[in-house]
Amino acid sequence: MRYAKNSVAVQAERDIPLLLQVRNSKFVSHTQLFELMKLGGWEISRDSFNWRVRRLLRARFLSVCDGSFGEGTVVYRISREGIALLEYHGQFTTVMHSKTEHLPHISQVFHFLELNRIQLALATQSLLANWQSEIEVASFNTITGTPYQKDYDAIVDVWIGDRKARFALEYEHSLKNYRQYDRIKDALQAEQQVGCILYLTSGMEVLLHLVQELGAIPRMLAFADATSFKRTLLATKVITPRNLQGTELRELLQ
């Protein structure tokens, strides 16, 4: 069989999971993508992975983001052609599809690269049972009768021994204005689908501001620095409105 020049024969069992990971991550570095695919059981060989990415780039299912983002490798995002291919293979999402007017903006790169680091930190230590990305959460919220009250950055299931525990994850790298926090307060107060909401921050200044803004909400909120969390994971000492001295996240989830 002969193929048209420059065409790509899509390998559904390997190419589609890779494109799905890029779409759900919004932005992902080359190294992060390889680690995520390896941990998911889709790739073993770095050479094979590199070959696969080159094919998908050549076919314009992936695109390279312009700019330097401190990763030491290129950063990818899904293309409109890549989204259309996912849809053809049954991977549709209501919030980012082939007719979506605006795809994720480059200004969001640092936010989502950090979320990838958080996901990888949990997965590398075999603590991650499931990671539902912001895109998946937002799509779920548009089609279900009992949605989450907020499009969280992720809904995370972790292993505590042989038991799963779930929390909503928010990563805050900069401060919002007071009107935005008012809307967030209303959403968190109305939340009924998840028991614990973990806010990770880019530094202590943002963390302390969040505790001040959200501390009065009668929900199980926990706050920690993202750098500390990536190092100590479920043993991270998190601040809660009821315990400003801190308690281990593992204990809170139990």
pTM of this prediction?
0.94
Burial (CB count <10 Å: 0-12, 13-18, 19+), residue 129: middle
| Rounded Cα distance, 33 and 120, in Å | 10
Residue (of 72, 67, 11, 73) closest to 43 by Cα position: 11
For residue 119 the two structure tokens come to: 């996901």
Instruction: pLDDT tens for the chain, 254 residues: list them.
Output: 444 445 678 989 999 999 999 999 999 999 999 999 999 999 999 999 999 999 999 999 999 999 888 888 999 999 999 999 999 999 999 999 999 888 999 999 999 999 999 999 999 999 999 999 999 999 999 998 889 999 999 999 999 999 999 999 999 999 888 899 999 999 999 999 999 999 999 999 999 999 999 988 877 999 999 999 999 999 999 999 888 888 999 999 98
Query: What letter represents residue 86's amino acid?
Result: L
